Amino acid sequence: MEQLTILTAFTAGILSFLSPCVLPVIPGYISLITGLSSKELTDTSKKVNVKKITVINSLFFIFGFTLVFILLQVVIKGILFIIDQRVLNYIFGGIIIFFGLHTIGLFEIKFLYYQKSLKMDKKSFGIIGAFLVGIAFGFAWTPCIGPILAGILALASTQATLWKGVILLLVYSLGLGIPFLLTGIFMDYFLKFISRFKKYMAAVKIISGILLIIIGIYMLTGNFNKLGSIFL
């Protein structure tokens, strides 16, 4: 069961990265945190130095949004500490299934399409700046990846201890952060990939919605064993 929840969190992170409101702006964020243009990021004549800057700054950017997600989990866990876990499961399970149906496209929750753009100069602010941009990313894009993130936060809130919930958020952040890091290292390949991947965006939304519905059913039933019996 724990392995399955961890796999779910990691998959959710990857789906967040591939979401229509995150994937297209990734090159812009990498350019922002490194101070390098797309041309400079793909310049092979300065390959080693560019990759070094990209890796270091990207890691601090990832640390930034990971911190935001973990703090959200800590706050939610603290607020919900006094609520009976079974009641919590029913509430969160219903909400996550609702978000899943929205993500699939059966209906729209308009405020979840809102995203806050960051307008900053293109010069690099170093690792501290990358870390702060990561924090801003965590807050600015929370509505955009809200349904998936809410699903993982809800799943984390059902864990027996706060630490287990934090681990799930770390795994989710890895699922979102590792592709981001690889994009920075292999920017030239990513630019080719994104032009071909656009036609699969609708499929990503449907898969994300199905994942959320599965998480919601899991929360309503209490474990993945019961969940499995529903589909078999």
Q: Which of 46, 74, 96, 56 is nearest to 213 (CA)?
A: 96
Q: Which residue has the higher pLDDT, 155 or 116?
A: 155
- Quick one: pLDDT at residue 232? 35
Cα-Cα-Cα-Cα dihedral of 22, 25, 31, 34, to 10°? -10
- Quick one: pLDDT at residue 143? 58
Tens of pLDDT along 162-183? 888 899 999 999 999 999 999 8
Confidence of residue 96 (pLDDT cuts 50, 70, 90): confident
Q: Which residue has the higher pLDDT, 217 or 84?
A: 217
Given a cut of 80, whether residue 119 has pLDDT beyond it is: no
Q: Which residue has the higher pLDDT, 180 or 205?
A: 180
Q: Which of 163, 188, 213 is nearest to 27 (CA)?
A: 188
- Quick one: pLDDT at residue 227? 45
Q: What average pLDDT score do residues 204-208 get?
A: 87
What 72-76 contacts at long range (C-beta under 8 Å, 24+ apart), as own/partner pairs, is 72/153, 72/169, 73/153, 73/156, 73/157, 73/162, 73/165, 73/166, 73/168, 73/169, 74/162, 74/166, 76/153, 76/157
Q: What average pLDDT score do residues 76-94 get?
A: 73
Confidence of residue 48 (pLDDT cuts 50, 70, 90): low
Q: What average pLDDT score do residues 176-202 get?
A: 85
